[in-house]
Structure 1
C-alpha cells in the first residue's frame, strides 16, 4: 500500500485530501499540531524535525507521495506566518526528498495561494530572506510589516519560487514537484479572515467570477490529479484553482 504524508491534515484542504486518499486505498500519515498521526509544531525548527522523523518512522523511511497543506492565514502573527508557511514547507521538502525518491509515486504537491501571484516581489528584501533560508530576518521583516496579510502573500509567493527553483534537481532524481494556488475556499482559515477587523469585510464581500467559493474537496481533487500518473509530465508548475480570481486581477499576465 502506498504511503502518503500530508501536513495540515486535521482541517480544511488537508483533511479533505487525506479523506479522499484514504478512501482510494492509500495509507495516509497526517501531520498537524493536534489531531493527527504525527503531532508537531511547524513554526519551529525542532517541530519540523519532529514532523519529519515521526512521519518517516511510521512509513519505514520511504514515502510514495507528499502533500504540504499546513499553513497559517493572514489573521495570525506575521512572524509565525513566515515560519509555518515558508520554512515549514521548505525544510520538509528537504527532509522528505530522499524518502520520496525511494517511493513508487515520487510526487509532491505544495499548497500555496492565489495571493502568491499578486504583487511585485522583484528585488524584495523579504523574498530574498525567505529564499536565502534566513528565518530570523524573514520573521523580523514580516513582524515589521504590521498586519499578517503582507506576510501571508509574501510567504506564499516565496514558497512557489522555492518549488520552481527545485524543479531541475528534483526532476533529475525522478521526483515530480508542483504547487497548487487556491483562491477563496470554505475552510476555518477563511472564516478567521472574515472575522478579522482589518480584512474581514473585504474578504466576505469578494466573490470569485464563478459566483461562489470553492469547497475543500475541489482542491483535493486537483491535488490528487497532480499526485497521479495522469499528471506524469507535470513538473515545476503552479496550478491556479481559484474560480477565476487571478484572471480577473491580471488578465494579460500569466
Structure 2
C-alpha cells in the first residue's frame, strides 16, 4: 500500500487527489493549515519544519510519493506570502522528505506549478534569484517590493519549476523521479477568489483556454496520478502542461 504525502490536501487539487488515492488504496498523509492529517503553516520556517517532522513521524520515515499542491495566488494578503508558500513550501519540504522518498517503492514526486511560469519576464525577476539561492528573507522582501502580486505568483512558479529541473541528477541518484504539473485555470476556491478580486477579477475571468473552460480539480488529479505511476517510469524533470491549450495559445512557436 503506497504512502503518499500531499500538501494543500484540504481543498482544490489536493483534496481531489487525496480522495482518488485513498480510493485506490494509498495511505495519504494530508498537509494543510487546517482540516487535514498534518496541520502546518507552510508560509513560515517553523511551519515547514513542523510539516516535515510530522510527515516523517506519520510515515515512519518511508514515503512512496510526495505531491506539493499547496499554493497562494494574487489574492494573498501580501506578495511575500506567495513566495513563502509557492516556493519555500515546496523546496524545503522536498529537501526534508527526500531521504524518506529514497526508501520508498518506485518513489516519485510531483510539484504543482503553473502555466504562469512561462509568463514573459518571470525568469528575470530579482526575487527568482533569491528563491533559487535559498535566501528566504531576501526573496520575501523582493516579492513585497514588486509592482504587483501577479509578478510574485509567476516568479514563484518559475522558480519552483527551475528548482525541480535542477535536481534531476541528485534525485535520480536516489532513485526518485520528480516532475512538474503546469495547469492553467483550475476551478478551485483559489481561482474563485481571483475572479472576485477587484483588481484582477476581470482579467482572470477573461483568460480562457482554447478548450473554452477551466479544468476540474479531478482532471488535474488524474494527471498527477499518471506522473506518480509506473506508467510514467521514464518521465523525470518534465513540465507537463495540462492547461486546455493556454501555453500553446500564448507561445505557439515555443515549446
Please give the range of the TM-score, normalised by the shorter of the 2 chains: over 0.9
Alignment partner of 1:3 is 2:3:
yes
Indicate if the aligned counterparts of 1:75 and 1:149 stay in contact, CA closer than 8 A.
no
Kindly provide the CA deviation profile for residues 23-60 of structure 1, in whole angstroms up to 9, marking residues without a partner as x. Answer: 00100000000000000000011000110111111111
How far residue 120 of structure 1 moved from its aligned partner, in angstroms, is 2.5
Matched, 1:59 2:62: no
Q: Does the CA contact (< 8 Å) of 2:5 and 2:31 recur in 1?
A: yes
RMSD (Å) for aligned C-alpha atoms: 0.9
Residue 194 (structure 1) aligns with: 195
Who is 1:89 aligned against? Answer: 90
| Contact 2:64 2:104 survives alignment (8 Å) | yes
Matches within 5 A, 1:1-254: 1-76=1-76, 77-254=78-255
Q: Which runs of 4+ in 1 moved over 6 A?
A: none
C-alpha offsets along residues 119-173 of structure 1, whole Å, 9 cap, x if unaligned? 2245532211110001111111110114311101100000000000001110122
Count the aligned residue pairs: 254
Counterparts of 2:181 and 2:152, CA distance in 1: 19
CA contact (8 A) 2:4 2:64 kept: yes
Q: Is contact 1:8–1:68 with CA below 8 Å preserved after alignment?
A: yes
Cα distance in 2, alignment partners of residues 130 and 185 from structure 1: 25
Unaligned runs of 5+ in 1: none
SS of residue paired to 2:52: helix
Contact 2:123–2:159 (Cα < 8 Å) also in 1? no
